[in-house]
Structure 1
């Protein structure tokens, strides 16, 4: 552009140097390089197979700290929050990269993956990253689109140190860079991941590092500056876009850029906090790269105080009554409201309470009361809820028995707890020791006995001892 502008200002045509190749040459070369994917020996087939193995078992979608649920169809509306790291952080990143035989990009990728893992995204963090695709000097001055996208899978499992995580990233990235020729869209077709109109396939977080040398654009009579042009769009949930700057002597002068985010799922305030978290994490891990990434503090002092103190301030005055009393008070407030639902059967508070009262009176007659135990060996059912409530109404404590326990385990529990009886069922019940006192809810004798009991709430005079909230 500069050459053409200067020439036209002089009233002449630009004197272009002939290029060694044209874009069509590149496309033909790429087709020849990749070969026929039907041929297992071709580069294209081997690279597709590499990615099939490299991305096998990866997450379809990262669990990110969204402010709201993902829409069914993405709007691709977006915004950008700027961020920067000073020369001190930049020097630390460069130093660690050299120490580990990695690049600055790899250190920043490890930092982003560690942050996302700390924010709940899990231990398997796929990050998309663009590669320039200009692997031959003959392409340097050729106008055309060569960029491809790689999926860089980051393993944060086992709580590694940050130094170890950088080495993991280095190994993964070098493997990926060796298989960067297959176009991303072809890779998606070949791998056929679970698709959604609401998110990007294979990855939802991208990292771009602009570290290619940039020439000044000099035009006669003009001062030309490069300025970011906000688009109001976001292709991914999160895009970390970073670039390095250097002093005149080539020393690190800082890393700057921004986080582009999808406004479908994120608020700007959340991303602004994320910038702070990433800054804190980098400062922590660069100060001690051998500490596990889980120990790096990422929160501001005010945020930490909110988590440890504000959200844990759960003090609340509660009634001093026992649970059966609280339940009976709820029955009085909403007697006809649904209390229990099981397999299409609905029971109101009144029905549950009355059935529990009848069973409680039957249990009291058998010796159930405070400081005693009643075992409950029932399958998941409405009767299980009623039985537990009935035991509590007597003042006794219940001993839960899973009907699927082995017989010897059930016998051991019963021998240890010494309950006054076991509430169970005849049909589909559990195998109990022969001398065990049992109350079979579906037995005719039990049903007759329950029908003879009053449905009203028990008074302390009916119990073996008054109901106390501090009893077992």
Structure 2
């Protein structure tokens, strides 16, 4: 491509790593006699023909390319690029570029961005990309999507791509309030499940911090009231009216927030915190927030906040912690807090979202267009995928869970980041592809649906609100045809970018549209969750004179069968220093040893695919030596002599159709392994623990929780493509409205009066501390 420019006689391109971990796509060009190649013009020339990630970051002119004695290119003799040859750093040339450069800088948190600087090379990821897209809509009144940013990740290329773009969607502004305020789509499902179960702790989000120092309890009480007054979502109850559930926002003056210090002994503190976290919240009768202040001594307290999931999500941590600190600092001075008025509230977002999506009967509406996309994208999706279960599924799941910690080493984490950058995708996409391969090797087939969460705050006006904005996406990975890992990444990227472009459809509506077999014992559309935590850590709650320390809360719950969470860590220079990871698993299905083996194999595969990504998938050795010796079937799991059951699969054909491996009463032999490639170092030792709050403190912004169990038996035989799918009979009609599973049940269930609390929702990880870096997510693809 470079040699097609009239100023270039010869050229070569390679990846250099002149600084550890800093790999740069570098081009060397030799000019034609009498010509002087301009690196900036050459970069623009390539950018018109190739994707942005294939445009060299550095273009270095040379008098001649160095050659060996045999006349071949001498790579070792190529000089390190000089500073002036970098295309990055050019200032904006137009008002549009100037605005975009400012938005890049603000979102990325850097001082200055040149028009050729790559958004993702500067630390951008899918969550920040979502935020930038919202800022671009607001600033330029131009419609865009995440795909556009992935394909045009520099200010210069994005400005060109936005020329002639459609006008932006309507901005989130205060809405005219109807007489009856409906629930948001995300809230509707939680309300329905609350009505089905009765008041329970299933969807409680506990947040506990220890406060050491001279605490002004009256100032804290007033500060909490200030925060509740500022964020209407925290003072909303959800009664049922003639037309269904509605939002009733309590006036600030009518808020009664019980708050009285309760003395407790240090040795009884964990039990008291668990009791506070497990106490049900009746969202139809009471505020979705409960406060408990435990006094250990005059200068030692523990504050326990419990918020119902219907009123908050992971991204709510930053505004909540910031506003609580600001209000307390004002109240200790006997002043009311002074803060900028929020432009909108959660009720405005509810009404705006409904108007934005439009009428499903209008084929030109946003919701109709996006539903049409999802109907095609998820056609023939497997109802369940098979995994190495240790036990058959109970008829009524208890959602009991545990968490196992593991880690990705520094070298592998850096290669993951580099592979994502050079392939023009994201770190999340690399993780998604690798996890899909591991699940496939354990019997899941070649059509792997995974769930992930998106923050749902697509408009900048929602960024400082407390509320339940999060939405769920179903990401489908096609492993058919034994592609190379690079080819698999391209498939993952294509599906994921389309998913992000159609993320406005509520997950609940998507389930109704696709109408999978309705069963309380498995989560619809997917059963494995994948999250990459990449929020900027929220500042700790700043209380003057008080040392704030996180206190763990142990819910012991897993909403999904498996839920993998990764958190990137960085060294002082900003380079990846590894990944902390955890997997929440249903203890009704899995033993710790089974999950431990899965995590080891995932880390092993990540090391292999990032070392040599251009190999067919079947050549990667997923099994570690110890696990291969322990299990000839490819993984721990149920005894092959136990009764086997057929998997539930939807019908369909074509590349995306589900394929289920046949089972045999005889354990199959191990899958073929590549012997020519040495196995990378196994993962660090993983440590099982009870499902507990991650060290980061706040829940993931996650999907509206649903019953998450499925009832098939696994053969751990590696998936092959010559299988037969079988579909079982759907469950019976709804006991409340007699609706068959082929129709959506429109009647709310009768209110339950059961007093026994259900397990806490593990869909959102509970919070422990705003004083430590949070682990909320918006999955970041």
TM-score (norm 1): 0.63
Q: Among 100, 120, 125, which residue is 2:443 paired with?
A: 120
Q: Which residue of structure 2 lines up, in the alignment, with residue 189 of structure 1?
A: 512
The structural deviation recorded for 1:225 is 4.9
Q: Which residue of structure 2 lines up, in the alignment, with residue 247 of structure 1?
A: 571
Partner Cα distance (2:523, 2:338) in 1: 44
Partner Cα distance (2:327, 2:634) in 1: 63
Matches within 5 A, 1:49-448: 49-217=372-540, 218-225=542-549, 229-307=553-631
Per the alignment, in what secondary structure is the counterpart of residue 481 of structure 2? coil
- Does the aligned pair in 2 maintain the 1:118–1:294 contact within 8 Å? no
The structural deviation recorded for 1:247 is 2.0
Could you say if the C-alpha distance between residues 144 and 310 of structure 1 is closer, same or farther in structure 2, counting changes exceeding 3 Å? Answer: closer
Q: Among 326, 330, 333, which residue is 1:3 paired with?
A: 326
Partner Cα distance (2:503, 2:575) in 1: 31
- Does the aligned pair in 2 maintain the 1:128–1:149 contact within 8 Å? yes
Q: Which residue of structure 1 lines up, in the alignment, with residue 227 of structure 2?
A: none
Unaligned runs of 5+ in 1: 312-472
Could you say if the C-alpha distance between residues 260 and 3 of structure 1 is closer, same or farther in structure 2, counting changes exceeding 3 Å? Answer: same
Greater mean deviation of Cα atoms: 183-192 or 92-101: 183-192
Partner Cα distance (1:205, 1:227) in 2: 28
Could you say if the C-alpha distance between residues 184 and 308 of structure 1 is closer, same or farther in structure 2, counting changes exceeding 3 Å? Answer: closer
Q: Which residue of structure 1 lines up, in the alignment, with residue 357 of structure 2?
A: 34
Partner Cα distance (1:77, 1:179) in 2: 33
The structural deviation recorded for 1:221 is 2.5
Per the alignment, in what secondary structure is the counterpart of residue 431 of structure 2? helix
Could you say if the C-alpha distance between residues 157 and 237 of structure 1 is closer, same or farther in structure 2, counting changes exceeding 3 Å? Answer: same
Unaligned runs of 5+ in 2: 1-323, 636-781
Q: Which residue of structure 2 lines up, in the alignment, with residue 385 of structure 1?
A: none
Partner Cα distance (2:431, 2:550) in 1: 24
- What do residues 337-363 of structure 1 show as CA deviations (whole Å, max 9, x unaligned)? xxxxxxxxxxxxxxxxxxxxxxxxxxx
- What do residues 416-444 of structure 1 show as CA deviations (whole Å, max 9, x unaligned)? xxxxxxxxxxxxxxxxxxxxxxxxxxxxx
Partner Cα distance (2:497, 2:634) in 1: 45
Relative contact order: is structure 1 or structure 2 higher (C-alpha 8 Å, sep ≥ 6)?
2
Q: CA RMSD in A?
A: 1.9
Greater share of helix: 1
Partner Cα distance (2:471, 2:570) in 1: 27
- What do residues 305-328 of structure 1 show as CA deviations (whole Å, max 9, x unaligned)? 3456999xxxxxxxxxxxxxxxxx
- What do residues 78-115 of structure 1 show as CA deviations (whole Å, max 9, x unaligned)? 11101111221110110000011001111111111111
Partner Cα distance (2:408, 2:545) in 1: 35
Per the alignment, in what secondary structure is the counterpart of residue 149 of structure 1? strand
The structural deviation recorded for 1:226 is 5.3
Partner Cα distance (1:99, 1:228) in 2: 39
Q: Which residue of structure 2 lines up, in the alignment, with residue 327 of structure 1?
A: none
- Does the aligned pair in 1 maintain the 2:472–2:506 contact within 8 Å? yes
TM-score (norm 2): 0.39
- Does the aligned pair in 1 maintain the 2:440–2:446 contact within 8 Å? yes
Partner Cα distance (1:111, 1:219) in 2: 43
Partner Cα distance (1:7, 1:171) in 2: 50
The size of the alignment, in residue pairs, is: 311
Partner Cα distance (1:243, 1:287) in 2: 21
Matches within 5 A, 1:442-461: none
Q: Which residue of structure 1 lines up, in the alignment, with residue 232 of structure 2?
A: none
- Report which of the two structures shows the higher radius of gyration computed on alpha carbons: 1
Could you say if the C-alpha distance between residues 233 and 310 of structure 1 is closer, same or farther in structure 2, counting changes exceeding 3 Å? Answer: closer
Could you say if the C-alpha distance between residues 180 and 308 of structure 1 is closer, same or farther in structure 2, counting changes exceeding 3 Å? Answer: closer
The structural deviation recorded for 1:264 is 1.4
